[in-house]
Structure 1
Amino acid sequence: MSYLSPPRLHFSGQFLADPSTLNNTPNNYNPQNDFPTAGRDALGLDATNNLDLFWNPYGRGTFGFVGCEVTKVTYGDGRSATTRDEDPIIGTAVASNAGLAPAKIVDLDPMQQNVSEIWGMSLDVGGRTSGSVSGDYREGPYAWIWLQAKGVPPGDTAGSGMYQSVLENLSWNPGSSDSRFLHELAQASPERLSINFAVHAHNSRPHMFLVSKKTVAAMKKAGVPSSVTALLAPLMQYRQMPTSTPGLIPTEAYFKVLVKEHAGAEAFDRYWTTIRKESAQPYRAPTPHPFVHGGSAGTIGPSSAGEPLYFTPARVLTPPAEQLSEPKFSPYNPPCTFAPAATSTAGGETTVAINLSNSLPTRLPGTDWDGDVLGNLFLCTFDARSTSPLDGVELLGRVDYADHRRFWTEGAGFVTLTTGADVSDRPLGLVRVDDEGNPQEMLLQENPYGVYCRADRFVYRINPGVKASHDPRTGNPATVDFYASRFGTPLSGLEIAVSLMSPEEARSYTNSTPGTGGSPGVDNLSIPQSALQPAAATVVTGSDGKASLTLTASDPGNPRSYVDGQIYFLRYRPVASGIHFVQAPDDLISIQIYQQNLRGLPAAVRLAGRVTWDNSIRYVLGQYGKLYPYMATIVELGSYESVKKNAAQIRQVLASDLNSPIHMPVTRDLSASRRALILRWIEDGMPES
């Protein structure tokens, strides 16, 4: 069972993803690089060692659903409801972290930003009248990220991706007018639920503010004294990227903090309105959503123990292999992208359910689907024996995507068709036809042999010195589970080859991704190769379609200097040749191995000997304080006095569960060794020197 199976509900609304972006480049981790000050050439002539702000330096690292509501339910018998009169759960909220600290959006590493994970999220679905269910979201990354919006340049706003996980620790709460749907869902899956949702059209374009000779002159003319504008001179050196115009500062929230910090509270209170007016640059939102918001639609359904957590081993439609080889397309920019589907047969009829929430292109971010690409769109089967998938096409039914409200807002991109055709061993396709129904182009197709395989969990954090039995999330060794299916049923005997990417391959891959590509300083990846074993292996699926591989990590040392640990990538694919297997570009295993022995860090930071603020802790906490300025609203991590004052709270959040919304650091990238170092220092009374 999964969200592809009834009973299931659909929801839609917005999501908020508010990451801090100062950690987007390894260069910002370098202690020699810092924020401009009055003593570092206030005229802005030398910005060599300045930090790159990227697009959201004051981000809080939070994630959440905003205004999401249940829009449709499908019962176990296949009938649906879309109004509150039919089922009281329609129109109720799908709320994240109600009354709690917000969930977090987390990159694995500055050198792997293409598998962003959600941590610390809980969901409440329903209301007082309908009843409700709440549960904890199992942390995990998005998959199948691609450039969905075809009419804009590549970037975050053009992108779309899909999250899938499970809701655990469920609490079922009856309502005054119980929902039939909730009753059926509780009966079908009382312990765990499957959730899948798409996120797209994220507005990552900040409002920019420019501090330059021209804008400073305008401030003076508008009444800001020279004594105040002189204090703002260091802001002329701030930069968004190495090639950006000096003095361009992203987001009003961050600019406001900088002005107050440099000009002082009294001058800020008196002149902020004028400074803002004269420095603000023209702004046009690139999506229909506010800054750091985007659109989301998803599905929740049953889940059984023993099933994969992060994907459904179902029937998956992929871009045709020959299409991906065309120069005008790239792995992240096909006309359409991966779509999971499931089939069930009863009474001589087959029901096909396909999730297109992340699969169809738009012209502009968050707008209607691109009819020029899709045209008359049909679900079909085709003849696997033919040299062309357009031969032997049998149309199963129209995909009516034109009604955006019904298709996306209400139906979450989920299409269900019933057919009398036997599709149990015939590959499915998504085909564009002409007005007479003649096939024109196969946009998505199932593997001709029905074969699909994928790793379940594919993002790992490993502390070499921590046993997996003590910490299943970050302990050593780690287990990767692969699942293979053929036309949606478990496939036994499939050999899957797994191999470690070389340093050159790792660098080439991560620099090609939408998440990491363009970030300066990506280097020295995947060394030493010996820190992850095995470097190559072949696993074979059993009768349940599952195969497992144990990964053992050793201390990689400190090959990236000021960035802790090391990043590795494992690729995998079926050994069998001639099966035309198509993988998403990110269908690989991403692994962060942390440094265990702390020798070699600045000032000989180590677990042995006397640990003080001056010789150890300031290098660890100070880096977080620099990379995450928003933390200063809670504690100034670069200040001994502030850290000592807030030591009890720091200890609490460091010791909290990794999937707790209050866990610190938000980025979940503090190694067990460094965490132990800080906690030991606190226990020892926090000596300064």
Structure 2
Amino acid sequence: MMSVLEIPRIYFKGNVSWDPVTTNNYPVNYDETDCTTVLPQNLPTIQDDVQAFRDRAVAQIGASGNWNPHGTYRSSFYETAVCGFDRGHGTQTDDPFATSAVNFTGMLVDLEPFGSVSSQLFFDSMLFGVEGGYSIQLPRTSRIIARQINFGRNTSRHTAIAGIASVIWTTCFAKANGLRINALDSGILADLKNALEADDVLGLSVRFNAYRTVYYDNAALTNGSPAMAQEAQQLADKIAGGGFQPNPARSLIVGVVGLWRKNEPVHEPGDRALIQVGATPAVGTASARCNVDSLVIDLSNSVPEVDVALTKQDLGRLSVVAIDQSGAVQEELGSIPYTSYDRTAYEASAGLVTLPLAPGMAEKIAGLNLQVNTVQGPILREQAFRAIPLTPNFYADQETATSASFQVYEHGVPVGNGVAFQLNQMSSDGQTVEISIPMTTDATGIAKVSLSAALPGITAYVPSFPSQTVSSLSTQLDTYMYVRVLPDDPQIGALPPTWPNVYKYVLSNWNAMAPCMDNWLRLDDPEQIRAYATVLKRLTDPAAFEHFRFMPITRDMSAGMRSLLYAWLDSPKDHEAELPSRVRLLKNVLRTQPATAVQRREEATLPLETMTQTELSRSLRGGPKGN
């Protein structure tokens, strides 16, 4: 259904950097229910606790794989540009818009920080081309969401941490929100601009796949290797030597820009879902769209790379068929040679493969299931029904009544009234089903569920249909929603609005967790905080939640914390109590332990072949790594 699989569409490729603070990926450092940093609590002052926490985070670089304690949360495209387009005649590059730069910077935030399946990018705008020249200017409508993470993407064994995985990132931009296309004499931009005038086109959709992630700027690293330990030690030594030392990872990306039509999801593919088949799947889940005269299959997240040169696995010629409910082939739709999904083809067209359809074929297969086969058998098979959350990463405040909605699709088309399914409420790691909630769609194909916000915490919701059995969340098989209920903390909001209280119960959390803030605002300095009172209120206002500069970046300030902070900002200055602590960032030596103690034990690793998805998800954050 998602219209990046119809024409016109634009392809781009390049690189993206990831610079999150990784310290909150560990339960020993962070309480994701209470939204608080786990400080030592055994030192003379809160300032000592904060300093000890920072020192401990550095010690965890080698001991626990905490690869970026000085992160900034920023993610930016670099060396990224338009690489082609399709106006209905296959991939082309002969347009003045081809090779135009793609600019994007966002804040990378995990709703559930102990795992890797709830990532999102908060941003303000995206730009293709140059303002005043050929360009697509895209003010944000909604954040970018990561879904369908594929933990089996890179099989080369030359990977570290998230290097094994790939993931689809998606968002849409409403034409009513200031979207602008400056086409000049570009044919592809003129096509897009003209297509936006249709009543059922809401705007543009951008979808990109991130893969081949590299850490410490060293593509040769593997989990648990001596080289990884050496890189970790060098980072710890640099921090101990003084200065600000962010350590971003980086990935390759391929992407596509296309139309966003009515009834299409904003944050993930809503096309016909082709689910991986078999106990040891050869490929990752894909999606497909039947246009009038073509079938377009999105393999951007599917075919593995097998070596450091990123050679695509040769699965042979793939046949595409349409089958009935019994599995019998009803229509043979064509075949895909290796040259259509190898590395060259993948980078040229973002993994999209097009098969021509005979006249009337799209209508004939509308109610059948698509299937992709190798000579050994099926590798992808359509899952007819999908329930997609309208808000896949959902935040709520404790004791605030709220609800969430799911749009149900059949073969990529919204259903009508009366379609039943189960909504499985799960633990935050997606490992355990807690309750199953019966759901039924209304006339528009939407089903709503009331969300309990009685207690703070994080919950996963995974839909399943009668033909499906769900025991744990699978990012390759399931759609899902994550809900985070932030605590109200009335006891904090009721505290006297003094600087000691504000620092201890509010600001020390991020002063400890995010040393990067020292570059912009000293969270331990009451004079600086008061000087920026107006700005702080604007940046922490819940109304600014979607903005790039919202604070805290991690979106985990409780209502009680905000109330206490605002009350103090509005109070008269207390000259005796408001003394800066000056927790040290740019220091010459670690206060509590020498640099030589940073790598105090070998980082734990698990056999990659036997790891569950939950273990894989945690391994990309603070859990034991696979090897």
TM-score (norm 1): 0.69
1:94: which partner in 2? 102
Seen in structure 2, the aligned counterparts of structure 1 residues 635 and 356 have a Cα distance that, compared at 3 Å, is same
Is the aligned partner of 1:411 residue 2:353?
no
Counterpart mapping for 1:407-486 below 5 A:
407-420=345-358, 421=361, 422-432=364-374, 439-447=375-383, 450-464=384-398, 476-486=401-411
1:385 to 320, 326, 331: 326
For the 8 Å contact 1:198–1:296, the answer to whether it is kept is: yes
State the AA in 2 paired with 1:660.
Answer: H
Which digits, 9 at most, give the CA deviation of each residue in 1:403-434, with x for residues without a partner?
756422220001111032543333222221xx
State the AA in 2 paired with 1:598.
Answer: P
The CA distance in 1 between the partners of 2:224 and 2:376, in whole Å, is: 46
For the 8 Å contact 2:145–2:268, the answer to whether it is kept is: no
2:286: which partner in 1? 339
2:296: which partner in 1? 353
2:584: which partner in 1? none
Question: 1:88 Cα shift?
Answer: 1.7
Is the aligned partner of 1:678 residue 2:620?
no
2:188: which partner in 1? 181
1:396: which partner in 2? 334
The CA distance in 1 between the partners of 2:178 and 2:64, in whole Å, is: 43
Question: 1:108 Cα shift?
Answer: 0.8
Is the aligned partner of 1:144 residue 2:148?
yes
Q: What secondary structure sits across from 1:250 in the alignment? A: helix
2:490: which partner in 1? 598
Question: 1:62 Cα shift?
Answer: 0.6
For the 8 Å contact 1:13–1:295, the answer to whether it is kept is: yes
Question: 1:460 Cα shift?
Answer: 1.0
Which digits, 9 at most, give the CA deviation of each residue in 1:230-270, with x for residues without a partner?
xxxxxxxxxxx9999999783867643431279xxxxxxxx
The CA distance in 1 between the partners of 2:464 and 2:341, in whole Å, is: 38
Question: 1:154 Cα shift?
Answer: 7.2
For the 8 Å contact 2:387–2:463, the answer to whether it is kept is: no
For the 8 Å contact 2:147–2:475, the answer to whether it is kept is: no
Counterpart mapping for 1:605-616 below 5 A:
606-616=492-502
Which structure: larger Rg?
1
Seen in structure 2, the aligned counterparts of structure 1 residues 248 and 675 have a Cα distance that, compared at 3 Å, is farther
Counterpart mapping for 1:495-644 below 5 A:
495-501=420-426, 505-507=427-429, 509=431, 536-554=436-454, 556=455, 565-575=456-466, 584=476, 587-599=479-491, 606-644=492-530
Q: What secondary structure sits across from 1:3 in the alignment? A: helix
- What is the count of residue pairs matched by the alignment? 537
The CA distance in 1 between the partners of 2:229 and 2:149, in whole Å, is: 33
Q: What secondary structure sits across from 1:68 in the alignment? A: strand
For the 8 Å contact 2:288–2:296, the answer to whether it is kept is: yes
State the AA in 2 paired with 1:574.
Answer: F
Which digits, 9 at most, give the CA deviation of each residue in 1:577-615, with x for residues without a partner?
799x9973663321111111332xxxxxx2225221213
1:296 to 253, 256, 264: 253
Q: What secondary structure sits across from 2:410 in the alignment? A: strand
For the 8 Å contact 1:353–1:415, the answer to whether it is kept is: yes
The CA distance in 1 between the partners of 2:290 and 2:478, in whole Å, is: 26
Is the aligned partner of 1:260 residue 2:242?
yes
Question: 1:187 Cα shift?
Answer: 2.4
The CA distance in 2 between the partners of 1:645 and 1:181, in whole Å, is: 49
The CA distance in 1 between the partners of 2:227 and 2:334, in whole Å, is: 55
Question: 1:357 Cα shift?
Answer: 0.6
The CA distance in 1 between the partners of 2:336 and 2:424, in whole Å, is: 41
Which digits, 9 at most, give the CA deviation of each residue in 1:182-213, with x for residues without a partner?
222122225521121111111134679xxxxx
State the AA in 2 paired with 1:381.
Answer: A
State the AA in 2 paired with 1:677.
Answer: L
2:232 to 250, 253, 263: 250
State the AA in 2 paired with 1:142.
Answer: A
Which digits, 9 at most, give the CA deviation of each residue in 1:445-475, with x for residues without a partner?
113xx33333332211101356xxxxxxxxx
Seen in structure 2, the aligned counterparts of structure 1 residues 305 and 454 have a Cα distance that, compared at 3 Å, is closer
2:605: which partner in 1? none
Seen in structure 2, the aligned counterparts of structure 1 residues 487 and 162 have a Cα distance that, compared at 3 Å, is closer
The root-mean-square deviation of aligned C-alpha atoms, in Å, is 3.8
1:222: which partner in 2? none
2:173 to 163, 167, 170: 167
Question: 1:24 Cα shift?
Answer: 0.9
The CA distance in 1 between the partners of 2:550 and 2:270, in whole Å, is: 32
Q: What secondary structure sits across from 2:504 in the alignment? A: helix
For the 8 Å contact 2:299–2:353, the answer to whether it is kept is: yes
Seen in structure 2, the aligned counterparts of structure 1 residues 247 and 369 have a Cα distance that, compared at 3 Å, is closer
Seen in structure 2, the aligned counterparts of structure 1 residues 404 and 508 have a Cα distance that, compared at 3 Å, is closer
2:611: which partner in 1? none
2:317 to 354, 373, 376: 376
For the 8 Å contact 2:181–2:189, the answer to whether it is kept is: no
Seen in structure 2, the aligned counterparts of structure 1 residues 490 and 7 have a Cα distance that, compared at 3 Å, is farther
State the AA in 2 paired with 1:156.
Answer: A
Seen in structure 2, the aligned counterparts of structure 1 residues 51 and 678 have a Cα distance that, compared at 3 Å, is farther
Seen in structure 2, the aligned counterparts of structure 1 residues 116 and 134 have a Cα distance that, compared at 3 Å, is same
2:617: which partner in 1? none
1:363: which partner in 2? 306
1:265: which partner in 2? none
Question: 1:351 Cα shift?
Answer: 0.9
Seen in structure 2, the aligned counterparts of structure 1 residues 539 and 636 have a Cα distance that, compared at 3 Å, is same
2:209: which partner in 1? 198
Q: What secondary structure sits across from 1:6 in the alignment? A: coil
Seen in structure 2, the aligned counterparts of structure 1 residues 626 and 250 have a Cα distance that, compared at 3 Å, is farther
Which digits, 9 at most, give the CA deviation of each residue in 1:310-334, with x for residues without a partner?
23432110012xx13xxxx4xxxx3
Which digits, 9 at most, give the CA deviation of each residue in 1:273-321, with x for residues without a partner?
xxx9xxxxxxxxxxxxx9511111111111134432123432110012x
State the AA in 1 paired with 2:520.
Answer: I
Which digits, 9 at most, give the CA deviation of each residue in 1:24-51, with x for residues without a partner?
11211321179999x99xxx9xx89x99
The CA distance in 2 between the partners of 1:536 and 1:383, in whole Å, is: 29
Q: What secondary structure sits across from 1:64 in the alignment? A: strand
For the 8 Å contact 1:206–1:251, the answer to whether it is kept is: no
State the AA in 1 paired with 2:349.
Answer: G
The CA distance in 1 between the partners of 2:12 and 2:318, in whole Å, is: 24
Is the aligned partner of 1:135 residue 2:139?
yes
1:221: which partner in 2? none
2:70: which partner in 1? 58
Question: 1:141 Cα shift?
Answer: 2.4
Structure 2 runs not aligned, ≥5 long: 30-36, 579-627
Is the aligned partner of 1:667 residue 2:554?
yes
1:515: which partner in 2? none
The CA distance in 2 between the partners of 1:36 and 1:251, in whole Å, is: 24
Which digits, 9 at most, give the CA deviation of each residue in 1:161-190, with x for residues without a partner?
001111232332535x42222222122225
Seen in structure 2, the aligned counterparts of structure 1 residues 337 and 261 have a Cα distance that, compared at 3 Å, is closer
The CA distance in 2 between the partners of 1:494 and 1:546, in whole Å, is: 9
Which digits, 9 at most, give the CA deviation of each residue in 1:461-490, with x for residues without a partner?
101356xxxxxxxxx413222322136463
2:119: which partner in 1? 116
2:612: which partner in 1? none
**Percent identity, aligned pairs only?**
20
Question: 1:2 Cα shift?
Answer: 2.2
Q: What secondary structure sits across from 2:508 in the alignment? A: helix
For the 8 Å contact 1:160–1:200, the answer to whether it is kept is: yes
TM-score (norm 2): 0.76
